[in-house]
């Protein structure tokens, strides 16, 4: 039943109250509610997009983030002006966490011209450089060297910031990830490599795909590393604050493995009945759901009331429905749009310096 070996806990689980970590203790009630709201908004967005997929409004793949919300929300809530994020194809949560509007996000899934990538990227390829969000990348592990490159850019410009390069547990066996680890450590690049370990690389469990502990591999590259639970947003923030601070203050990279779980299949095309049991999923839902856990905490803190929780949920559902309505009403790109956004020069003809044909038939 267990999806993977239990962590050898770096910090004793029950004994540490992560709410007391300075980065959490100083949160105002409004900020705590905003963390909760973002997690709820991600979940309702994902559920609404699933319904749209089932109604055949969405093509291709749809990799849902349901169950992992505390990871993206916790990490991205720590971003300062010079912090950057890059992730893989399960990117909806990160996009919402960095503050992207859900209307263009949903419209992108619908393949509409009003989508965040004008309907050219799809579910796996969300970007918003204005929010320091650099995708949204489809090839497992391929974005990790780019994450190190964002850190390189920060360092080169002398900016005090950090890049967070997210990957799933399935990415840790890709060569590009290890090359990025080595370069980041060798060159002291301010990057935090974040492994969102949901236990399965597609349908292959961790025990069937990866030798040894995942985060610990960082030690081989002389990098600091940590592990934490991704079911508790306070714990995510406490752990990530430590390593983001390390990156910003000393330029040193690190690897953080965050234990999480996805309730849905690898993508919605995954029948999800060959590699794990329904009981396992139910057990996670019942005992470790990040939204439920945080709701209980906030109620106990007196920050949240049942009525406010209900209101937040209602608003999130309405927002997701509104995003779907917006997407439905939006136009598709036209065939004439296919060849825009290919070359900077073609899109900026007044500044074009090259000559000759850029496109061919």
Partner 1 sequence: MPVISYREAIRHALAEELERDSNVVVMGEEVAQFNGAYKVTEGLLARFGPQRIVDTPISEAGFIGVGIGASMLGIRPVMELMFWSFYSVAFDQILNNAANVRYMSGGQIHCPIVIRGPANGGTNVGATHSHTPENVLANHPGVKVVVPSTPADAKGLLKSAIRDNDPVFFLENTMLYGEKGEVPAGEHVVPLGLADVKRAGTDLTIITYGRSVLHSLAAAAVLEREQKISAEVLDLRTIRPLDFDSVLKSVAKTHRVLIVEEQKPFASVGSQLAYMIQREAFDELDGPIHRLATVDAPAIYSPPVEVEQLPNPRRVLQAALETLA
- Binding residues for partner 1, rule: CB under 8 A, are 84, 86, 115-121, 125, 127-129, 134-139, 142-154, 156-157, 163, 175-176, 179-180, 182-183, 186, 189, 339-345, 347-348, 353-360
Q: Which is nearer to partner 1, 44 or 137 (CB)?
A: 137
Least distance to partner 1, CB of residue 119, Å: 8
Nearer to partner 1, 165 or 238 (CB): 165
CA trace torsion 107, 320, 143, 234 (10° rounding): 160
CB 106 within 8 Å of CB 140: no
Exposure class string for 346-360: b at 16+ Cβ within 10 A, else e: eeeeeeeeeeeeeee
Residue pair 154/84 in contact by the 8 Å Cβ criterion: yes
Please enumerate in sequence order all residues whose Cβ is within 8 A of that of 313, keeping only pairs 6 or more positions apart, or say none. Answer: 40, 44
Angle at the Cα of 207 from the Cα atoms of 214 and 74, rounded to 5 degrees: 45
Q: Which is nearer to partner 1, 167 or 233 (CB)?
A: 167
> Could you identify the residue written with the tokens 């950090």?
162
CB of 38 to partner 1, least distance (A): 22
Measure Cα distances from 273 to 2, 88, 266, 281 in Å. 16, 24, 11, 11
Looking at the Cβ atoms of 105 and 233, the one nearer to partner 1 is 105
**Least distance to partner 1 from the beta carbon of 6, Å?**
32
For the bound state, the minimum distance from the C-beta of residue 11 to partner 1, rounded and expressed in Å, comes to: 32
Closest CB to partner 1 among 221 and 294?
Answer: 221
CA distance 88 to 310: 32
Q: Would you say 270 or 341 has its CB closer to partner 1?
A: 341
23, 238 Cβ separation under 8 angstroms: yes
Please report how close the Cβ of residue 89 comes to partner 1 at its closest, in angstroms: 11
Minimum CB distance to partner 1 smaller for 153 or for 322: 153
Q: How far apart are CA 50 and CA 173, in angstroms?
A: 29
Shortest Å distance, C-beta 30 to partner 1 = 31
Minimum distance from residue 139 beta carbon to partner 1 (Å): 6
H or E, element range at 196: strand 191-197
């Amino acid at each position: 039943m267990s999806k993977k070996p239990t962590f050898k806990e770096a910090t004793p689980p029950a004994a540490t109250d992560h709410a007391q970590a300075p980065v959490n203790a100083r949160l105002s009630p409004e900020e705590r509610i905003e963390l909760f709201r973002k997690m709820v908004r991600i979940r309702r967005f994902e559920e609404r997009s699933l319904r749209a997929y089932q109604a055949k409004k969405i093509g291709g793949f749809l990799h849902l983030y349901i169950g992992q919300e505390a990871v993206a929300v916790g990490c991205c809530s720590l971003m300062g002006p010079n912090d950057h994020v890059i992730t893989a194809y399960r990117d909806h949560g990160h996009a919402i966490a960095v503050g992207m509007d859900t209307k263009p996000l949903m419209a992108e899934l619908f393949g509409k011209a009003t989508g965040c990538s004008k309907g050219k990227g799809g579910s796996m390829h969300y970007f918003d450089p204005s929010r320091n969000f650099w995708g949204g990348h489809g090839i497992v592990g391929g974005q990790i060297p780019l994450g190190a490159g964002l850190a390189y850019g920060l360092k080169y410009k002398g900016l005090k910031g950090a890049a967070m390069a997210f990957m799933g547990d399935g990415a840790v066996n890709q060569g590009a990830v290890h090359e990025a680890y080595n370069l980041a450590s060798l060159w002291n690049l301010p990057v935090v490599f974040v492994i969102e370990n949901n236990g399965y690389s597609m349908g292959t469990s961790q025990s069937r795909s990866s030798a040894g502990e995942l985060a610990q591999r960082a030690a081989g590259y002389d990098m600091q590393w940590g592990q934490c639970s991704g079911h508790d947003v306070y714990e995510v923030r406490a752990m990530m604050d430590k390593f983001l601070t390390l990156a910003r203050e000393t330029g040193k990279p690190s690897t953080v493995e965050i234990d999480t779980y996805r309730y849905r299949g690898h993508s919605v095309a995954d029948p999800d009945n060959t590699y794990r049991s329904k009981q396992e999923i139910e057990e996670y839902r019942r005992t470790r759901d990040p939204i439920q856990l945080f709701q209980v905490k906030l109620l106990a803190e007196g920050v949240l009331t049942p009525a406010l929780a209900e209101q937040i949920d209602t608003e999130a559902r309405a927002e997701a429905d509104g995003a779907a309505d917006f997407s439905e009403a939006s136009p598709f790109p036209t065939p004439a749009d296919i060849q825009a956004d290919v070359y900077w020069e073609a899109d900026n003809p007044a500044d074009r310096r090259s000559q000759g044909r850029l496109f061919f038939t």
